[in-house]
Amino acid sequence: MSYPLAGITVLDLSRLQSGPSCSQILGYLGAYVIKIEDVNGGDVTRIDNVNNSSIDDSHFTIFNNSKESITLNLKTPEGKKILEKLIVKSDIILENFSHGIMNKLGFSWENIKNINPKIIYASIKGFNDSDIYNNYKSFETTAQAISGLMSANRDSNQIPKFAPIGVSDSGAGLHMVIGILSALMQREREGIGQKIEVSLYDSMVNLMRIELMRYINIDNAEERSFDPIGNNSIIFKCNPLGPDDFIVIHLAGEMLESVLILIGREDLLETLNEEDLYRKSPNENIITEIEKWTKTKSKMDAFHTLAKAGIWCAPIMNPMEVIQDPYLIKQNMVTEISDDVRGNYKTIGLPIKFELTEPNIKKAPKYGEHTDKILKTILDLSEDEITTLKDSGVVL
């Protein structure tokens, strides 16, 4: 059985996270992804300091599996010609350069679609083309700031905080995957390509809907209460009371009643009123009594006990606990990749499960690993022609 995107070729000029996270999913779905890297070291995440690896940091490998790598100097006429030839043979071109860079390189959308009218041009930016925020740059933390996420996520002193996840970068990447798949379907019907724009800001606003719904249809924002235990979800301490020993329990309506019965405090049912059952959170006495019970349990014991009774709850897991979770390992969401050069390494799998196929998860490419192969097999260049390109610094 073939992969869902078998036969689709992607030219990936992107770097860092937003673009690579998009193209990696396309690769997992079976697309042939060619990562085009400059001749000055390539994607800067290769030399990040997340795990001090001597060959490609985890920052690179976690976003660049299932791709091939070619080095290419796009500042040279020869490099531009090679990219033109690759565009002719490709279905998608993806980039996340700053505004204007592709135009300066000679690859505006007008030029690209003249080269290949059926290609899909996928462009990720901090802000889309507009006379508002025109040419402004953005990245993960600034997108979190402007989208309202940091305002909604505050510490105990009400100081806005960054969320320690790549929600804006990977969020933009996921939105772009949706756009690309939609454009492929439209091309199948109408026979032409198109340009797709996704911005970090727009993507973040879409992901912020549950927070923005409070304000979108009112003229004046009411004074906010930054209540860390709002929305009926309460954080309780668990045994042995360490820094990660907590469980979140949703206590609304029948859920609250079920919890009180389960912990043997049916007597408290008589004290419940409508505010306890359906407002922000139950009264402090009820919370105290529930926590007396959770403090006698480990967070996993409390989780299994409550969850098996149909109660919405979850342990607060630290990152190491997450990647060691047997459920995620069984689901291949934490999967090990065999690599003779770097040594075997773990990566995050594909959260989409297909009945007919497994995801196409392969090791991330070494810098320029497939330059010769791509030039030979796709562009039909000879050994002498490749040697000339290397000698002139067009490829490495």
Averaged pLDDT for residues 300-319: 96
Closest CA to 6 of 91, 133, 76: 91
Q: Which amino acid is at 117?
A: P
Q: In this model, does residue 230 exceed pLDDT 60?
A: no
Q: How many residues does the chain have?
A: 396
DSSP bridge partners of 313: 249
Q: How far apart are CA 26 and CA 21, in angstroms?
A: 9
Element (H, E) at 81: helix 77-88
pTM of this prediction? 0.92
Q: How far apart are CA 316 and CA 243, in angstroms?
A: 10
Q: Which amino acid is at 24?
A: Q
317 shares a domain with 342? no
150 shares a domain with 33? yes
Q: In this model, does residue 282 exceed pLDDT 90?
A: no
Q: How far apart are CA 318 and CA 323, in angstroms?
A: 9
Question: Final residue of a domain: which of 300, 323, 346?
Answer: 323
Contacts of 3 (CB under 8 A, 6+ apart): 29, 30, 31, 357, 360
Question: Final residue of a domain: which of 323, 353, 372?
Answer: 323
Instruction: Quickly tell me which residue has 């919890």 as its tokens.
Output: 259
In the three-class reduction of DSSP (H, G, I as helix; E, B as strand; rest coil), residue 33 is classed as strand
Which pLDDT does position 231 carry in this prediction?
67
Number of domains in the chain: 2
Q: Which amino acid is at 250?
A: H
**Residue 280: pLDDT band by 50, 70, 90 thresholds?**
low
Which pLDDT does position 229 carry in this prediction?
43
Instruction: Report yes or no on 119 lying in a domain.
Output: yes
pLDDT digits (tens, 9 = 90+) for 157-180: 889 999 999 999 999 999 999 999
Residues of the chain above pLDDT 90, percent: 80
**Inter-residue contact 326 to 317 (CB < 8 Å):** no
Active site residue 267: no
Cβ burial of 379 (10 Å; 0-12, 13-18, 19+) is middle
Single out the catalytic residue among 43, 56, 169, 202: 169
Instruction: Report yes or no on 226 lying in a domain.
Output: no
Question: Final residue of a domain: which of 273, 304, 323?
Answer: 323
Which pLDDT does position 112 carry in this prediction?
98
DSSP bridge partners of 199: 125
168 shares a domain with 315? no
Element (H, E) at 247: strand 246-250
**Inter-residue contact 208 to 147 (CB < 8 Å):** yes
339 shares a domain with 303? no
CATH code, 283: 3.30.1540.10
Instruction: Quickly tell me which residue has 């002139």 as its tokens.
Output: 392
CA 220, distance to chain mean position in Å, is 34
336 shares a domain with 317? no
| Distances, alpha carbon 257 to alpha carbons 10, 127, 262, in Å | 53, 47, 9
In the three-class reduction of DSSP (H, G, I as helix; E, B as strand; rest coil), residue 309 is classed as coil
**Residue 279: pLDDT band by 50, 70, 90 thresholds?**
low
Q: What domain range is 54 assigned to?
A: 9-208+331-391
Contacts of 210 (CB under 8 A, 6+ apart): none
384 shares a domain with 317? no
Find the angle CA(236)-CA(272)-CA(302) to the nearest 5 degrees: 25
**The two three-digit tokens of residue 327, written as one number:** 């459920």
142 shares a domain with 261? no
Instruction: Report yes or no on 289 lying in a domain.
Output: yes
Q: How far apart are CA 112 and CA 43, in angstroms?
A: 23
Averaged pLDDT for residues 91-97: 98
Q: Which amino acid is at 47?
A: I
Q: How far apart are CA 14 and CA 97, in angstroms?
A: 7
